[in-house]
Structure 1
Amino acid sequence: MGLDLDTLRAAVAAHGRVVRVVIASIKGSSPREVGAAMLVWEGGQSGTIGGGTLEFRAAGAARQQTQPRVLSQHALGPDLGQCCGGVVQLLSEIYDASTLNELTAEVIARPVGASEMPLSVKRLLAARRGQGLAPEPQLIDGWMIEPVHKPARALWIWGAGHVGRALVDVLAPLPDLAITWVDTGAERFPETVPDVVTVVPAAKPADLVAYAPSQAEHLVLTYSHVLDLDLCDHLLRHEFAFAGLIGSATKWARFRSRLRALGHPPERIARITCPIGDPTLGKHPQMIAVGVAAQILRPHKALENKKDLSA
């Protein structure tokens, strides 16, 4: 979690004046964590700080806000009637084209109460510079600290058909994914694509595999079995963190045979997951997308939970 600068820039470009509301601190329970944020403009908003009365009132206040930066405190139970019994502090900041130019560092530190940067903040920033440690979002000694968000996972989606489009709809809003979307021509893609998705039309998509990061994850679901096979062949000659292929058990049996004929050993071929998703959900594109999204997110969530328990 961190300050999503790309999304903020896109919102300012589209709407002009935008207020970013971020959870700065929490005491007790809260519907969202510190660093969760939403963007508010006249007539609309994006993101969420947890929904309910807190979000409704915060959005209304943001549209009326005149001061550049406002810190407010909210008791979720007594004041707002929400089930969460905690107290949250919200930091609301006005951004436009000029104020965005101030956000140039990898860690954004700005005063909320105290004007002079305290020693605690200086130490956090020094640790970032010296050790490459990104601090967690936090309100500390009158200063709000947030790292600029950078997606942690590179996901390449090969194919812009019905399933590819459904996958992008499901996955694009997730903050930790940098999505590259590839197909054989620009006409294959929808007219509107989320700003966070990089669209790459290529006459020979498999040639692009060599340019994918070695830790990238791949979902192969093109309109052509020939192209799918070519992509699998190139992926097995490259390196990847995960590779999934849409299809049936019969399709995968044929692909395994053909990939062996192309010189790939069985243990290497087994690194490709096929079929992907949850067949019990059905074959509707959105159902496939939900199953695939759950599959690729679940191992990472389990790993995060394991790290938390060992900390």
Structure 2
Amino acid sequence: MYNWIDALADLQSRGEPCVLVTIIEELGSTPRNAGSKIVISATQTFDTIGGGHLEYKAMQIAREMLASGKQDTHLERFSLGASLGQCCGGVTVLLFEPMGQVQAQIAVFGAGHVGRALVPLLASLPCRVRWIDSRDAEFPEQIPHGVRKIVSEEPVDEVDDLPAGSYCIVMTHNHQLDLELCAAILKRNDFAYFGLIGSKTKRVKFEHRLRERGFDSSVLQRMRCPMGIGEVKGKLPVEIAISIAGEIIATYNADFGQHTASAGSSIAKLLPASRRSQATR
């Protein structure tokens, strides 16, 4: 049987969602150990938090989270005893952490050098990628798993089909096409992230032309150009791609710290008053 670490790595490598369940606090005379973990997928479980009805309830909750697509961490307090069919008393707090869900729906417009360096990086993340270009010959023979290749004579038309909250990356071979894509994406204005490859000079030019089309500054400010992490320098396609991928990761993980910070206070609320001060130290 896999231990939880190996199981989690295997599931994530295959892009299969799961929930990591951890015993956060164990109070009373119970045989369970704080820190014990179990990984639960839609059809399997790996490792154990001690078995019994508590583990069964954890499986139920985890699979409900998977079915609903919930991505926020979740804390559950269990009073052991008759409610869980156990003779011993006490309190157990479990932390449920969804893993492997798709974090971002990404549309990459352009299959040039940077696009060919970027898309494999994005495909290795918990993302689903639409890779769009009018030039079939620019795509590599092997398209990474999780990437949908779209050859379209009118790439701008593909903007209408993007899910709300998409991450849009524009890096085509044609400045006019870049401009039209920018206008279409900004007109929808329901993206989670929008980046345009180019310099600060290109941004100034594009902002001027987009203002002429009626876009106001509040909308234009949402466009990232230049895009990518500024600390990652370099002109090679792979260097630019790593910078952009880093910014994508930073964007979809932007609220991770908030979830983590709130976990401590949430745990404290679930514990008896006599233990709250210890949980928040």
* Secondary structure in structure 2 of the residue aligned to 1:281: coil
Cα pair distance change 1:135/1:249, threshold 3 Å: closer
Contact 2:195/2:225 (CA < 8 Å) preserved in 1? yes
Output aligned runs, 1:249-260, within 5 Å: 249-260=200-211
The separation in 2 between residues aligned to 1:286 and 1:260, in whole angstroms, is 33
Note if contact 1:278-1:288 (Cα within 8 Å) is conserved in structure 2.
no
Q: Structure 1 residue aligned with 2:57, among 106, 109, 123?
A: 123
Q: Does 1:300 find its partner at 2:273?
A: no
Which is worse superposed, 125-134 or 242-251? Answer: 125-134
Mark the CA change 1:254 to 1:308 in structure 2 (over 3 Å): closer, same or farther.
same
Aligned residue identity for 2:4: A
CA contact (8 A) 1:245 1:274 kept: yes
Rounded Cα–Cα distance in structure 2 between residues aligned with 1:230 and 1:124? 50
Q: Structure 1 length normalisation: TM-score? A: 0.59
Q: Is the aligned partner of 1:107 residue 2:58?
A: no
- Counterpart residue type for residue 245 of structure 1: L
Taking a change above 3 Å as real, the CA distance of residues 146 and 177 of structure 1, as seen in their structure-2 partners, is: same
How many angstroms apart in 2 are the aligned matches of 1:262 and 1:161? Answer: 28
Scaled by the length of structure 2, the TM-score of the pair is 0.65
CA-to-partner distance for each residue in 1:146-179, whole Å, 9 max, x for gaps?
A: 98944121111111100001101222112x1111
The equivalent of 1:241 in structure 2 is: 192
Find the counterpart in structure 1 of residue 149 from structure 2. Answer: 199
Q: Which runs of 5+ in 1 are unaligned?
A: 1-20, 26-31, 40-45, 48-87, 92-104, 137-144
Q: 1:259 and 1:122, CA in 2 relative to 1: closer, same or farther beyond 3 A? A: same
Contact map agreement 2:168 2:195 (CA 8 A) in 1: yes
> Percent identity at matched positions?
31
The change in CA–CA distance for 1:23 and 1:258 in structure 2 (over 3 A counts) is farther
Partner in structure 2 of residue 209 of structure 1: 159
* Structure 2 match to 1:85: none
What whole-Å deviation, never above 9, does each CA across 1:100-139 have from its counterpart, x for those lacking one? xxxxx971235879xxx95334323433448946899xxx
Q: Which residue of 2 aligns with 1:187?
A: 137
Give the letter aligned to residue 185 of structure 1.
Answer: R
| Aligned-partner residue type, residue 109 of structure 1 | Q
Task: Read off the aligned partner of 2:102 and give its amino acid letter.
Answer: P
User: Structure 1 pair 195/111, CA: closer, same or farther in 2 (3 Å)?
Assistant: closer
**Distance change in 2, residues 1:129/1:38 (3 Å):** closer
Larger helix fraction of residues: 2
Contact kept in structure 1, 2:2 and 2:47, CA below 8 Å: no
* Superposed CA offset, 1:169-191 (max 9, x none): 222112x1111111113222111
Task: Provide the secondary structure at the position in 2 that maps to 1:264.
Answer: coil
Q: How far 1:205 sits from its partner (Å)?
A: 0.7
Matched, 1:37 2:10: yes
Q: Give the whole-Å Cα distance in 2 for the aligned partners of 1:90 and 1:307.
A: 20
In the aligned structure 2, how far is the partner of 1:206 from the partner of 1:294?
A: 26
Aligned length: 214
Mapped contact 2:105–2:165 kept (Cα < 8 A): yes
Task: For 1:265, give the aligned amino acid.
Answer: D
Residue equivalent to 1:264 = 215
Letter in 1 for 2:54: S
1:209 to 1:298, Cα distance in 2 relative to 1, 3 A: same
Query: 2 CA distance for matches of 1:222 and 1:295?
Result: 19
